[in-house]
Chains A and B, each alone.
Chain A
Amino acid sequence: MEYLFIIISAIFVNNIMLAQFLGTCPFIGVSNKLSTATGMSMAVCFVMTLATLVTYLLNKYLLLPLGLDFLQTIAFILVIAALVQMVEIVLKKVSPSLYQALGIYLPLITTNCAVLGVAINVVTKQFTFGGGPAHMLNLGEAVVYSFATALGYGLAMVIFAGLREHLALNDVPEDFKGVPIAFITIGILALAFMGFSGIV
């Protein structure tokens, strides 16, 4: 039950993009077409879950026991950058077709603040789900939370890419063209997602 609360909360209520503003740059950048948006979402899912797993373990078994938790920022960004490189190399060898699909999005993910943001959040913040007490996440919860967060990011991106494909065909006033109208659309989408607040 707890896990269900985490999943609903991470996907809908506290959507990482529409409620927490993490990962806006790639969100605007690759949401022009539905196909690129799907590719990016899959890559984020993959890397975010893996990165949270690794940084959680690193923090718990290396940084905290040694009293080095002030190095979190530096250590985490390095781990993420190295992880992205490794995923790229492994994918290239093991599954060329998946590499083809995710290839160009992987390097972009290093600077996606959603990945670093979730990694830092799960080790520093207390969470409350379903009216339960506030607590730090354990490993299982952290992994489920990061995966669900990535799904929420993907959902927002796919919805927005669909909207944007329609926007491109419409007659938008000159000064609104491109990014401004995109922001206004995201604003309305975020208003819609506010309707989920309070269900978990």
Chain B
Amino acid sequence: MSKWQLITKGLVKDNPTFVLLLGMCPTLATTTSAINGLSMGLATLFVLVLSNMAISAIAPVVPDKVHIPVYIVVIATFVTLLQFLMQAYTPDIYATLGLFIPLIVVNCIVLGRAEAFANKHGVVDSALDGLGVGAGFIISLTVLGMVREILGTGSVFGWKFITGDGILAFVMAPGAFLCMGYLMVLFNKYLKK
């Protein structure tokens, strides 16, 4: 598999959200607006790339029996690092995303890539794989966030182009599930060939 394919396969063919159905909780919870979805995607990308690189580097020396706990500790370390960075530089976004930043630890995408890819490949390949899958995750979250923001408030990235109130239910919980379901249908119909 070429380096370029490593990056592009996560976008559509192995899209973590719409095809592999991984990391559903943050996907649904943080996409109340496009900007929140994008921030959550970037936060996950950060952890994904760094943990992929670290795990691919240490994988040969980790005993097989304890590899899952070791990977989880590595991932949790990077998540804690991310928490510090966000508290320092982007406190507003950190407050909005709240609980879902520490919950990146249990995001199955991160542990999934560690198990399925990083522990068998080199550091560079693993970093690219993390970038690709992370980019796919960012795209799904931003699209879902945009759809919900447009339907819910009539604006996109905070720019309001429809006057009047939106359908509030789309910003709340039911809208997340409905939008996710219908976007998945569109994805199945037009993109997954």
What residues make up the interface of A, taking CB atoms closer than 8 Å to B? 18-25, 28, 70-74, 77-78, 81, 110-113, 116-117, 120-121, 175-176, 179-184, 186-188, 190-191, 193-194
Contact = CB atoms under 8 A, between A and B. Distances in A.
Interface residues of B, number: 39
14 contacts: A19-B173, A20-B173, A21-B28, A25-B24, A73-B80, A81-B72, A116-B103, A176-B181, A180-B181, A182-B181, A187-B175, A187-B177, A187-B178, A190-B174
B173 A190 contact: yes
B25 A175 contact: no
B24 A77 contact: no
Interface string B164-178: 000001001111111
Nearest to B76: A74
Decide if the interface of chain B is mainly helix, strand, loop or mixed. helix
B181 A77 contact: no
A182 B177 CA distance: 9
Most A-side CB within 10 Å, residue of B73, B79, B80, B181: B181
Interface in B59-81: 69, 72-73, 76-77, 79-80
Nearest to A73: B102
Contact of B181 (A23, A184, A193): A184
Contacts of A193: 173
B69 A81 contact: yes
B175 A24 contact: no
Closest 5 CB pairs of A and B: A183-B181, A187-B177, A187-B178, A184-B181, A24-B24
